């Protein structure tokens, strides 16, 4: 082999060796970079763990506190707190308002609530405080009506500046940018001093509102179906003198919150046939059996355009 050919082969060999060495170095550096910048384990926040409906509730609550909640409400004095708690411990079960409106304290059945536009200052067991420290969702305390008008009062009455107050439903605030969803009931304080007297004996009949929802097939015995099957709860909605504008479904499973579904006429007419004044409509909802022994509590509420309301309850045992 002549020198020229030998030199040519040597150059090729050296070039290949250098190229392989560079590839090896690049690969080693890439591996080190990959190890250095490998992604951290993804963390899931408490908010991300919530259901879609609960996320809507959180967004609405935050919006309500930041934009709607009244911040200039005076605090109750110690004397006012004492008077308020004494009355709560010895409640008035019945009182009359103007125009023959009668109010009965709610003592049985499933509770329903309303968001209020100020921080409620009385504290009772099982109050629904948020992590933000505000007490703004109150349970119904009185059901009131006279046959033509029906409404609810929320929260035990409290005493302030020599007068008695509680909260009454108002027309829902229309938000320009509420985020997602609205709470099904919104209430503001009402003065009941002129009506809130010492307990009186009542000998009349129960209030019957023109608007009425009735569950037609609530079972009185255990429902025998297979796991994974559903039971249909049938109901009717009779409108009064005004069009029905909203319906709200609430479900508890085994004594714990399970689901809720608010529908309104403006946005959800394809899902429910909202009856107009003096008409009736029939519909249904379903509950699924997940295991033997499951128990559902179902509440369905309807409200018309003049804020008259009605609700019915059903317990389903599997």
| Mean pLDDT, residues 45-64 taken together | 75
Q: Cβ neighbours of residue 224 under 8 Å, at least 6 residues apart?
A: none
Question: Range with the lowest mean pLDDT among 26-40, 162-176, 232-246?
Answer: 26-40
Residue pair 165/192 in contact by the 8 Å Cβ criterion: yes
Q: Which CATH superfamily does the domain covering 212-317 fall into?
A: Immunoglobulins (2.60.40.10)
The helix or strand, by DSSP H or E, that contains position 55, with its residue range, turns out to be: helix 52-67
Identify whether the C-beta of residue 104 lies closer than 8 Å to the C-beta of residue 94: yes
- For residue 111, what pLDDT is reported? 66
Residue 106 clears pLDDT 80, i.e. is over it: yes
State the average pLDDT over residues 235-247. Answer: 90
pLDDT recorded at residue 257: 78
Query: Which residues are CB-contacts of 249 (< 8 A; sequence separation ≥ 6)?
Result: 259, 260, 261, 262, 263, 285, 298, 299, 300
Are 144 and 151 in contact by the 8 Å Cβ rule? The answer is yes
Distances 137 to 10, 121, 126, 140, 310 between C-alpha atoms, Å = 87, 12, 12, 10, 19
Q: Which two tokens stand for residue 145?
A: 């009506």
What is the Rg, in whole angstroms, of the alpha carbon atoms belonging to the chain? 32
pLDDT band, residue 206 (cuts 50/70/90)? very low
pLDDT score, position 276: 93
| Chain mean pLDDT for the chain | 78
**The pLDDT of residue 198 is above 70:** no
Task: Please state the φ and ψ torsions of residue 266, each to the nearest 5 degrees.
Answer: -65, -35
What is the structure's pLDDT at 108?
Answer: 65
Distance CA 137, CA 302 (A): 19
- What are the domain boundaries of the chain? 52-191, 212-317
* CA 208 centroid distance within chain: 27
Helix (H, G, I), strand (E, B), or coil: what is residue 275? coil
| Predicted pLDDT at 227 | 94
Check whether 30 has a pLDDT greater than 50.
Answer: no
């Amino acid at each position: 082999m002549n020198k020229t050919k030998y030199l040519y082969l040597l150059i090729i060999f050296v070039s290949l060796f250098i190229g392989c060495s560079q590839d090896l170095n690049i690969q080693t550096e890439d591996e080190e970079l990959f190890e250095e910048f490998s992604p951290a384990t993804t963390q899931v926040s408490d908010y991300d763990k919530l259901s879609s409906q609960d996320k809507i509730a959180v967004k609405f609550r935050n919006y309500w506190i930041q934009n709607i909640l009244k911040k200039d409400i005076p605090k109750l004095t110690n004397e006012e707190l004492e008077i308020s708690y004494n009355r709560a411990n010895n409640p008035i079960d019945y009182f009359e308002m103007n125009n023959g409106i009668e109010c009965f304290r709610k003592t049985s059945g499933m509770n329903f609530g309303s968001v209020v536009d100020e921080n409620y200052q009385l504290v009772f067991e099982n109050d629904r405080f948020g992590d933000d420290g505000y007490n703004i969702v109150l349970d119904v305390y009185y059901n009131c009506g006279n046959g033509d008008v029906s409404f609810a009062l929320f929260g035990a009455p409290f005493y302030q500046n020599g007068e008695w107050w509680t909260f009454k439903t108002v027309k829902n605030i229309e938000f320009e940018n509420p985020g997602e969803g609205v709470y099904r009931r919104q209430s503001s304080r009402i003065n009941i001093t002129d009506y809130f007297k010492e307990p009186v004996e009542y000998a009349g009949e129960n209030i019957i509102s023109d608007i009425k929802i009735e569950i037609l097939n609530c079972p009185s015995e255990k429902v025998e179906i297979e796991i994974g099957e559903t039971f249909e709860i049938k109901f009717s909605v009779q409108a009064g003198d005004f069009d029905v504008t909203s319906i709200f479904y609430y479900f508890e499973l085994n004594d714990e919150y399970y689901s809720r579904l608010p529908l309104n006429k403006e946005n959800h007419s394809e899902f429910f046939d909202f009856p107009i004044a003096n008409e009736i409509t029939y519909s249904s909802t379903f509950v699924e059996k997940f295991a033997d022994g499951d128990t559902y509590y179902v509440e369905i509420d309807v409200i018309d355009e003049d804020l008259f309301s009605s609700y019915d309850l059903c317990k389903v045992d599997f």
